[in-house]
Chain A
């Protein structure tokens, strides 16, 4: 709120020099609550250059953590779908992992494989859609996005035939998964995975050496290694800055230690590296996916000792984290032995990654802000929770 004594000004004088140039404050971005993913920035401009940038969020706040503290453990599983609604399956996994740590539940091997298959498909479709949105923000209106969505639709079809929903999957359970793979699903997935390299080649030919893309992204929004680490940035953005940190390698949660895959790293930390790291990560996801589809064993899909109703973990605390497509997604739970968690906290990767936005934007033009924001890859459902 602006104090009554303070005059409302659109043009504000520079706080550093007197009389030399004027700053313009602009409210950038939509702010109507009925639109989805609402994010607004208060930017202070010196001509076209950004002097100050203040992210304004909270338009999509839904009280996720407090709701979860009043739900049963299973009851918050469908709410985790709605955090990052592009990647509901990885959200499910992170939450299931936290509860499994809390209650000491073992996951059968087949369920671990299914989790990895679905998580890598999720990563693939998230990165494909992100590159589409990023290029759309740059003005490539539609074509790359539609190509990405063509593949994403097929992945969502696979999700639908497995979980019953395209986006709000609600599939993982404590100690496994909800249902087994339907008949023919694996063959379908294998066939589909065989077509993906062609799509990736096409996607690369479409954009990777495009001069306009390079002019708009190379050297734009450079995030230094040190700053990225200090700010708690995780995920592809951190790796684009050249820090080799991937929880799939660091934590080896699930059974990721059984798979051979590489971590693509960037060198400059600019928007182009962030774009390229994701493109390469898609190839690595495909690599993991192929290995998992080949090796998946038969067996039970859920730990039979875990109860659906009346699930009460013993008192204690646990932090489960996974490498979600957007970065480290963690759930911190404290149990007091009742059916509801005493404390439920989401460590959201989008929120942490968004904190570096001002640093990346200062000194750049207004048009670059959109590109930089696109390359950070935020979903407001997870930022605001």
Chain B
């Protein structure tokens, strides 16, 4: 049986070909079956053809750039003291689905670079609304919010279980280093430079105006630097 496949033709750049195949009826099916058989038998020999991973027991290595939901970074041991967030409300405003809710404190505490700053008394993220777009991370000027990689998050309570508060969101800088090593190293280098700049400025201010020294913030940050 003569099967003519007029496959493709191009007008601008000439690419006009006709495939004429003389086949026995059913040959195409057999060819396809041979291909399937090759893959099936090959799966016993070649590891490349066995692509399935038996998930809960077997896991693929995590890809470094992977992101899932945001978390708040803190330095040092105490998560309440070390939170980098200064409750500037930028992420709340920029969040496309508006899943972040922040309340600002009335007093100040030293932040990651040593300046006295406000801190969030309430910081909630509604994970059921969050769409993992990473815009909060991009707009944060304080490197306070980053993306986590934890994906096994099923919960029995779809209301309070999916509304994460400050305590649930706070994770240490060490955790950040563990999940995104390259990115975290760059952030730490930047923060260290900022810290040095703030300390130098504070020192200069203290030298210029010795009377005002008690008002200057302590140059040592609350968190230890890695």
Which A residues are within 8 Å of any B CB, using their own CB?
Answer: 71-72, 74-79, 81, 143, 147, 150, 153, 157, 160-165, 168, 170, 178-179, 182, 202, 205-214, 242, 244, 249, 262-268, 276-277, 280, 308-309
B35 touches A202 (CB 8 A): yes
Which of A164, A170, A276, A308 gathers most chain B CB within 10 Å? Answer: A164
Query: Given A182-B65, A264-B8 in contact, is the A165-B132 Cβ separation under 8 Å?
Result: yes
Question: What are 29 contact pairs spanning A and B, CB under 8 A?
Answer: A74-B94, A74-B135, A78-B135, A143-B36, A147-B39, A153-B51, A161-B64, A161-B65, A164-B134, A165-B67, A170-B134, A182-B182, A205-B34, A206-B32, A206-B35, A210-B31, A211-B25, A262-B15, A263-B10, A264-B8, A264-B15, A265-B10, A265-B11, A266-B9, A277-B8, A280-B7, A280-B8, A308-B138, A309-B139
Contact with A along B1-19 (1 / 0, CB 8 A): 0010111111111010000
Contacts of B39 in A (CB 8 A): 147
Q: In the bound complex, what is the Cα–Cα distance between A267 and B10 (angstroms)?
A: 10
B96 touches A75 (CB 8 A): yes
Contact with A along B134-159 (1 / 0, CB 8 A): 11001100000001000000000000
A75 touches B8 (CB 8 A): no
Q: In the bound complex, what is the Cα–Cα distance between A262 and B36 (angstroms)?
A: 31
B31 touches A205 (CB 8 A): yes
Main secondary structure of the interface of A (DSSP, over half): helix
For the complex formed, measure the closest distance between the CB of A67 and the CB atoms of chain B, giving whole angstroms: 8
Query: Given A178-B138, A209-B3, A268-B6 in contact, is the A160-B63 Cβ separation under 8 Å?
Result: yes
Contacts of B66 in A (CB 8 A): 160, 164-165
In the complex, chain B residues 53-78 whose Cβ is within 8 Å of any chain A Cβ: 63-67
For the complex formed, measure the closest distance between the CB of B18 and the CB atoms of chain A, giving whole angstroms: 9
Q: In the bound complex, what is the Cα–Cα distance between A327 and B23 (angstroms)?
A: 35
Query: Given A150-B51, A210-B29 in contact, is the A265-B9 Cβ separation under 8 Å?
Result: yes
With beta carbons under 8 angstroms apart, the residue of B7, B13, B51 that contacts A262 is: B13
Q: In the bound complex, what is the Cα–Cα distance between A164 and B13 (angstroms)?
A: 39
Q: A143-B36, A164-B65, A206-B35 are in contact. List 15 more A-B contacts (CB 8 A).
A: A75-B94, A77-B133, A78-B133, A78-B135, A147-B39, A164-B66, A164-B67, A178-B138, A182-B182, A210-B31, A244-B12, A263-B10, A266-B8, A267-B8, A308-B138
Contacts of A161 in B (CB 8 A): 63-65
A267 touches B9 (CB 8 A): yes
Query: Given A74-B94, A263-B10 in contact, is the A209-B28 Cβ separation under 8 Å?
Result: yes
Contacts of B27 in A (CB 8 A): 209
B67 touches A249 (CB 8 A): no
With beta carbons under 8 angstroms apart, the residue of A170, A211, A280 that contacts B133 is: A170
Q: In the bound complex, what is the Cα–Cα distance between A368 and B8 (angstroms)?
A: 23
Check B196 for interface membership: any CB of A closer than 8 A: no
Once A and B bind, how many residue pairs between them come within 8 Å at the CB atom?
Answer: 114
B147 touches A265 (CB 8 A): no
In the complex, chain B residues 78-120 whose Cβ is within 8 Å of any chain A Cβ: 90, 94, 96
For the complex formed, measure the closest distance between the CB of A199 and the CB atoms of chain B, giving whole angstroms: 11
Q: Residue on A with the closest CB to B65? A: A164
Check B21 for interface membership: any CB of A closer than 8 A: yes
B3 touches A214 (CB 8 A): yes
Contacts of B214 in A (CB 8 A): none
Check B210 for interface membership: any CB of A closer than 8 A: no
Query: Given A78-B96, A78-B133, A308-B139 in contact, is the A160-B65 Cβ separation under 8 Å?
Result: yes
Contacts of B94 in A (CB 8 A): 72, 74-75, 309
Query: Given A162-B65, A209-B3 in contact, is the A168-B131 Cβ separation under 8 Å?
Result: yes
Contacts of A309 in B (CB 8 A): 90, 94, 139
Q: In the bound complex, what is the Cα–Cα distance between A211 and B67 (angstroms)?
A: 45
For the complex formed, measure the closest distance between the CB of B164 and the CB atoms of chain A, giving whole angstroms: 20
Contacts of A202 in B (CB 8 A): 35
Please name the 4 residue pairs, one residue from A and one from B, whose CB atoms are nearest each other, closest first: A209-B28, A78-B133, A164-B67, A75-B96
